[in-house]
Amino acid sequence: MGKRVGMEVAIAAAEAAALCKFDVASVYPITPQSHVAEHLADIVNDGRVDASFITVESEHSALSSAMGASATGARVVTATSSQGLLYMGEVMPITSSMRLPIVMLIANRAISGPINIWNDHSDIMPMRDTGWISFFAENGQEVVDMTIQAFRVGEDRRVMLPVNVNMDGFQLPHMVEPIFFPDQEEVDRFLPEYVPYATLHPDRPVSMGTLGMPEIYAEAQKAKDVAVVNSIKVVKEVWKEWEKLFGRKYEPIQSYRTRDADVALVTMGSMGETAEIAVDALRKQGVKAGLLKIKLWRPFPFAELKKAVKGIRVLAVTDRACSFGGPGGPVCSEIRSALYEESVRPAIVNYLIGLGGRDVQAEDFMEMVRRAAKGKLSEPYEFYGVRG
């Protein structure tokens, strides 16, 4: 029944992909994702998986060749970060439109400029509307679990969409963590062989990536939207099955001590664990604090959010990316919009935190909760801890 090992999370992510027996890895290295790329190359070189590693000259080529491989029916993994993800940007919506279930491991890193290699979510946020399913992992274990789940969800005939697994750069890929790995047989049972809807094959002609004129483009986009929206059912079903098999629970929004919470923090990614420490400390002081952790960013879990915020007076939503000149951080504007129609809804404050790798400690989250208790900040969104 699996084994527990201490392993660098980037290596573990590649190992998880190996357990999924990928056929093709097409990756261009970039900090802080490089160890994922290097270890995938090692795995292929050592013959541990019957797979090809495509060495490419850029991320644009990495995702393009991943798409080509996926179109032939291969199980494909890629990985990137920051500028590399932006460079893949042109190909991102095509991958989802062609319904190719590629899995992408993203070591989230700030985008330039100024040039910054450290962690925040400004790389994935511009990719929000590309039609990919987006998971956000909180720790190394979740990176491994979500990588395996991603193939299963994406390849499901009811879904057929690419999935990205987001791990906070450095905070996750560069840490050595204790991680439970399922056995190969367990993964084989959970993840059957990929049976593609269609493949490029001369005996069965098919055109993929065709022209969509004004007469059909809107219908194509509607069909894609329905596919992304409906994929949440499969995500939840797969997560339930995972919990039954491996005992680790996954939910689109995970609540922590919110049953009687007055003020609840909202986090996405690795900061959830730090926020938990803050909530525990506040509870000791008699402050009714709670925490909502978003694990599924796309499709956005609207129903789950509405259920999770019941009874909460103030939400302190943290964002790790800016939307310059916009209504606040991208997570907060989603949440505000999701709750607008509700007759009873919490007050919402928005903190932009941890930008470009700025450290956020439990004490910071405690301070955020204390100040959020008023239900309003002096500005619509606050760059928490910014000097000046």
Partner 1 sequence: MSEKKWPETWQEVNPGCMVFRPGSAAAYHTGSWRAMRPIWDNVKCIKCGVCYIYCPEGCVTEDADGFFEANLDYCKGCGICAHECWPGAIKMVNEED
160 binds partner 1 (CB under 8 A): yes
Per CB under 8 A, does 229 bind partner 1? Answer: no
Per CB under 8 A, the list member of 197, 201, 233, 361 interacting with partner 1 is 197
Nearest-CA neighbor of 83 among 13, 9, 169? 169
CA atoms within 13 A on the CB side of 350: 20
Torsion of CA 330, 331, 332, 336, to 10 degrees: 100
CB 254 within 8 A of CB 303: no
Binding test (CB under 8 A) with partner 1, winner from 219, 342, 363, 379: 219
Looking at this protein, which amino acid is placed at residue 302?
A: F
User: Per rule CB under 8 A, is residue 73 in the interface with partner 1?
Assistant: no
Contacts of 244 (CB under 8 A, 6+ apart): none
Selected from 205, 247, 325, 388, the binder of partner 1 by CB under 8 A is 205
Q: Which two tokens stand for residue 382?
A: 């606050």
Q: For the window 101-140, what string marks contact with partner 1 as x by the rule CB under 8 A?
A: ----------------------------------------
The CA-atom distances, in angstroms, between 300 and each of 53, 66, 351 are: 33, 26, 20
d(Cα 204, Cα 150) in Å, to the nearest integer? 28
206 binds partner 1 (CB under 8 A): yes
Note whether 183 binds partner 1 by CB under 8 A: no
220 vs 245, beta carbon nearer partner 1: 220
Q: Is 97 in the site for partner 1 (CB under 8 A)?
A: yes
Count of residues of this chain found to bind partner 1 when the rule CB under 8 A is applied: 24
- Beta carbon nearer to partner 1, 50 or 215: 215
Beta-carbon contacts of 219 under 8 Å, excluding residues fewer than 6 positions away, are none
Asked if 208 interacts with partner 1 (CB under 8 A), we say yes
Q: Which is nearer to partner 1, 226 or 386 (CB)?
A: 226
Cβ–Cβ < 8 Å for 374, 324: no
Of 54 and 160, nearer to partner 1 (C-beta) is 160
Interface ranges with partner 1 (CB under 8 A) = 97-100, 160, 197-198, 205-210, 212-213, 215-216, 218-220, 222-223, 226-227
